[in-house]
Structure 1
Amino acid sequence: MASFETHLLASLFFTPIGIRRFLCSSSHFLKNPSLFKSKPWYFSNPKWKNLDLYILAVALPLASFAEIFIFSSLSGHSTYRFSFFQQFSSLSLFWILIIFLVLYDSLDHLLFNESFIFVYACIAFLVEYYFIGVGITGLGTIVYNLLAQLTLLCAGCCLVLSVKRTAFFAEFLLCFGLVFKGTWLLQTGLCLYTDAFVFKGCKKMEVLPRSPNADVHCELEDDSMRGVALVNLLFTVHGILIMIISFVGFGILSSFKNMWCEDTSGPLLAQLESTDNLLMRPVHELEME
């Protein structure tokens, strides 16, 4: 990633998906925990309500073309060349994932089942993890290493859900990782690529003289060390705030009976719930009937 704009767009990609996924999966789990199964995407009925999915299917290739134009204008630097391959490969893999979700009803479910989609998502995150921070040194490396850890968390959760889709803990961590990743991408763009929010005593990310790498240049060693401390502090604050908001949101959802996503409450679920209620009724009531 080579600019604040690319970080902002990536943040707008991950954060809303994580929030929506948290609302839908939590509603599904709270409705009936014993019937919970994670889904690659929580669809709404009728299908035209899934505008966010269709917008992503159109926006991701447009973002890829934008990256091509950025790359062509900055192709003289190997750092931006690495950045281009990182962004372009990640966008392409996630775009294919969105296409899988859009065409899921028409695919052969024996081959392209939900477990396969989770495995593919895991691979997409691992590819992104491999490219994150390539060509970045110094203070920028610390920022991107933290971003890489969040990407690895998302990949691990997808792998667990591909094997055991009833694991709500993995689903919760996936939502947490997506939202955290989105907010940290925005924080990274602000701290490394803008003059207004760059760390005190440092300059925004730039290519080093006579070097293929880029870094945030700090005048003094103390400024660099203070920047490292601030990065770790900001990362911790992000994590704590998102975790608190997640638990508060989960508590609020538990007080409502309505579902956020229609596909989590279909006829089958209603039938199973009525069966559970029948089994839980006292024996003397059944005998009276």
Structure 2
Amino acid sequence: MTTITIKNDQITAQFKTLGAELFSLRDINNKEFIWEGNPNFWGKHSPILFPIVGALKNNTFEYNGTAYTLPRHGFAREMIFEVIDKKEDSVTFSLQSNEETLQKYPFSFELQLSYTLIDTTLQLGYKVLNMSETILPFSIGGHPAFAMPKAFDNYQLQFDGLESLTINLLEDDMISDTTKTIEIPNQKLNLEYKLFENDALVFKKIPSKLVTILEENQPILKVDYTDFPDLGVWTLVNAPFICIEPWFGYSDTPNNSGKILEKEGILLVEPNSFFQTNYTITLL
């Protein structure tokens, strides 16, 4: 595994070739904004979720009459990526399907992750190329974890334009149709661990496309996921981080057929075509 660094005159970002994972984002004063990855809580920093987001029912899906097994959030985060482009302020990583991936996921693909610094913003780009002769079904998402060095209840999340949040509740890791509404006066959700006692907060087709993290009501960082339909917000009880997760797709629903082409929220890319999107993290 290799470490890659990019920087400009305002911020510095570092990545691992394992999972092409962002593990450090620091400002000009050397303040760190990414969770350190302490394995006593959670040993990741900002994994890529591909080719599924969340969990499959029984960890399996069906394609052309054959059952395949995939772990929660897929396999890309555990694989070594190749660096295919590198400049002082940007880097692009690539993962291509191989014998190992085809046993779990019978589709030929190339996944490119690009990271670009623009002033105090990190742009995270995703490109999925269909290299096969059939439709490519997948979900994809980010999972950046942001450090919270102060007490957890000193932090708030501001959701642009919303006075309430509607979450889809989880049942045995599946996304249920049961929803819960949380009122957020002044567009702010005060963070407390009891919000996460039943795992992540999952927002299907969330209308707000910008979340700002506030420390003692002062904005420190914002995540803009304009092109993403879904969002997850997650932490572990007593852990000093919060994850803001832009998603295309989510876990299986309890009534899911198990057929990957029928999965709710799945993306379908035609042969010899590609899917491309990005989101940004801005230090304030």
| TM-score (normalizing by structure 1) | 0.23
Larger % of helix: which?
Answer: 1
Larger % of strand: which?
Answer: 2
Give the structure with higher Rg (CA).
1
